[in-house]
Chain A
Amino acid sequence: MSNIPGDRRYTKSHEWVKVEKDGTLTVGITDHAQALMGDMVYVDLPEAGRKLAAGKECAVVESVKAASDVYAPVTGEIALSNAALADAPETVNRDPYSEGWIFKLKPANAADVNALLDAKAYEALVAAEKH
């Protein structure tokens, strides 16, 4: 069973979104997503300052097996990317919810995050995919 922390929101495309104290959103991919993809070997990170509409692809995670887009969960601007992943993409496998974060986003509208899935709804989504 994959690990789904209750302290954050989720997307249907398997990103997690955590609201930080300063209002920025930290975004990564879920434990379920990293397990499906297998060993990560490359992460293409977005540049700070890039403005994105919700649902726009902005990063790529590549495992030995496949490449997968990572999408902006809400409309906003990239504040920071996790540069440490350039040399250690396997961090996404090892610690997807903490050290394996991919980018931080300044949301255009702080309330948008409330429309994303909560842990329970995401758990149901993952369960449905398995059948």
Chain B
Amino acid sequence: MGHRTPLYETHLKHGAKIVDFGGWDMPLHYGSQIEEHHQVRKDAGMFDVSHMTVSDLKGKSVGDFLRLLLANDVTKLKTKGRALYSCMLNSKGGVIDDLIVYWMDDDWYRIVSNAATRDKDMSWMNAAAKEFGGVTLTERPDFAMIAVQGPNARAKACTALGEHIREAAMPLRPFHSVRIGELMIATTGYTGEDGFEIILPDKSAPFAWQMLHEAGIAPCGLGARDTLRLEAGMALYGTDMDDTVSPFEAGLAWTVALEPAGRKFIGREALEKQKAGGVPRQLVGLWLEGKGVLRNHQKVQCGVHGAGEITSGSFSPTLNQSIALARVPAGVKTGDAVQVDLRGKLQPAKVVKYPFVRNGKSCL
């Protein structure tokens, strides 16, 4: 038996197919992964993401600590409540984890990081905090987290949660958050659609889930979450990047704040060296022109440039075709024709820009 979220029994009642996900018993789907995918693109769906790691960092110098710990720069957060996506790097510039950091209040930030990386994240952050001094790091297993996503997600969630929530949460722009009573509502997500991520006390989660469901938000599993994030071109930790891959090689250069030049974050030196010497690999989008379904770890033949590998491959329900993210040699360009080894047969694919889908529409 794996770890279970406060919504585990609720998932069973809804007929979820449960699978192991990084040591957690999580719903893969509640009947049809593809229907759940379309539900999020066209209307509103919700995901139990309580397995994610929530931690609070507090202290007078916590901002300075995060400017050392993270590759993105928390001073970009100009007002309380705002959120920032960042990688946390090792000294070689490899990605320990990707995360979202929220500026909660004076001397207080909240980090939401991945589930499967919990132990190594905590030991890394604790060691860094100890060396830095004056920062306390507290894990918050007492919280549950529900992601409500889709074009109608905000309106339906506000109907479920009440008028005082609607007033505060409806006007939020993307990557903002607000705290109302025991709830934290953030306009972040992992689907390429509008919506909320709601952090709430674990004991309140089953009732909140029921209210959201009654407001017309369909339960969706991690299967749909994966195809949604792939279409949205969002990297998945552990497949698209890991401790041996730099953000530059994972399509995440936009999350690395090299300015101001004086900010000495962990991994900076290695990244500068890699940039100066030329980044050898890049993450690109692939569109399968041949038959079949692209899958993780399939080899990609890129002609004179050499070979690469698919890091995330699946079927895109929105585009009705197979798509992938692949790490290929530098020099491969958008529009290039490549070949992918699908179960021993080479199939043609095209290098495309990603995201593939945003706000319900194809970007190709």
Give A contacts to B, CB under 8 Å: 38-39, 41-42, 44, 60, 62, 64-65, 67, 90
Contacts and interface: CB of A to CB of B under 8 A. Distances in A.
Contacts, number: 40
A41 B322 CA distance: 9
21 contacts: A38-B17, A38-B29, A38-B33, A39-B32, A41-B34, A41-B315, A42-B292, A44-B291, A44-B292, A60-B292, A62-B292, A62-B315, A64-B223, A64-B314, A64-B315, A64-B317, A65-B28, A65-B33, A67-B292, A67-B343, A90-B34
Contacts of B28: 38, 65
A64 B317 CA distance: 9
B113 interface: no
A64 B292 contact: no
A41 to B, nearest CB: 4
A38 B291 contact: no
Given A64-B33, A67-B295, A42 B315 contact: yes
B223 A65 contact: yes
B152 interface: no
Interface residues of B, number: 17
Given A44-B292, A60-B343, A64-B223, 14 more contacts: A38-B223, A39-B34, A41-B315, A42-B292, A42-B322, A44-B291, A60-B292, A62-B315, A64-B33, A64-B227, A64-B315, A64-B317, A65-B223, A67-B292
Interface string B87-110: 000000000000000000000000
In terms of DSSP, what is the predominant structure of the interface of chain A? strand
Of B17, B291, B317, B322, which is in contact with the most chain A CB atoms at under 10 Å from its CB?
B291
B227 A42 contact: no
B293 interface: yes
A62 B293 contact: yes
A124 to B, nearest CB: 23
A71 to B, nearest CB: 15
A67 B33 CA distance: 16
Contacts of A39: 32-34
Q: Which 3 A-B pairs have the closest CB atoms?
A: A41-B315, A39-B34, A62-B293
Contacts of B343: 60, 67
